[in-house]
Structure 1
Amino acid sequence: MPENKLLRMDNVGIVVESLDNAIAFFTEIGLTLQGRATIEGEWAGRVTGLGDQKVEIAMMVTPDGHSRLELSRFVNPAVIADHRTAPVNALGYLRVMFTVQDLDELVARLLKHGAQLVGEIVQYENTYRLCYIRSNEGILIGLAQQL
């Protein structure tokens, strides 16, 4: 058994074009803005390998307080790749899944905010209703309602 034990997962990071749009979208899902900050300087670039950087971040937290999304908007250096339109079977980051109370009601609200349903809402046995949705920022999100 290893001596160094995993303590927790702190957050998942997502790079966005508009921090305000992403905050509004995830607030609509039910997350709360925990804080906003600008991270800049050579020290931050030593962590990311990007050199001198300036990034605006927003930390969003789930209602239970256990899960967080760190939304980032890079001011410098500029974004060099965009994977938001990759299909769900692409390698790498795929999606974040949220369990919600009323799937139909939430999807209707998100569509009004510019989100798009990827496929359709389906039922898995007598356990879940599920769907994938792309946010107004193009971020792939999974939504599940336990039956």
Structure 2
Amino acid sequence: MLPGTAPRQPTAADVRDLVREALPSERDLSVAPVDEGGEHSTWWVGDRYVLRIAPDADASARQRRELALRDALRPSLSVEVPASAASGFWAPGRAYTVDVRLPGVSAERRPVGPEGERDLARLLRVLRTAAAP
């Protein structure tokens, strides 16, 4: 890759190789791009994982902060948040995380109900408490 050029978007074969390296004991390495959102930076990995690929350095920094925030807040939350099974870099300066897939359906596919709204409110309260000086 030339300096200053962006890496190409990974193919299914690239994603499979990345997951094989990140999770060497995993057997089901079937991969498919996630339809939701329109981009191919998120991939289903078997039925247990989700691979999220940061497309640039700024997104990589946000992803790394997100992983740290999820780990820090997890003990204070009453709802599940994804846990990273593996993380690293898929290209120079471009991060990835392989998250354990949570049960349920995306809010892009079905409306959030009252229980989901209460869970979100609890999450926001924990975030506000963590951010308070």
What TM-score comes out, normalization by structure 2 length? 0.33
- Of Structure 1 and Structure 2, the greater strand share is in 1
Structure with greater helix share of residues: 2
TM norm structure 1: 0.30
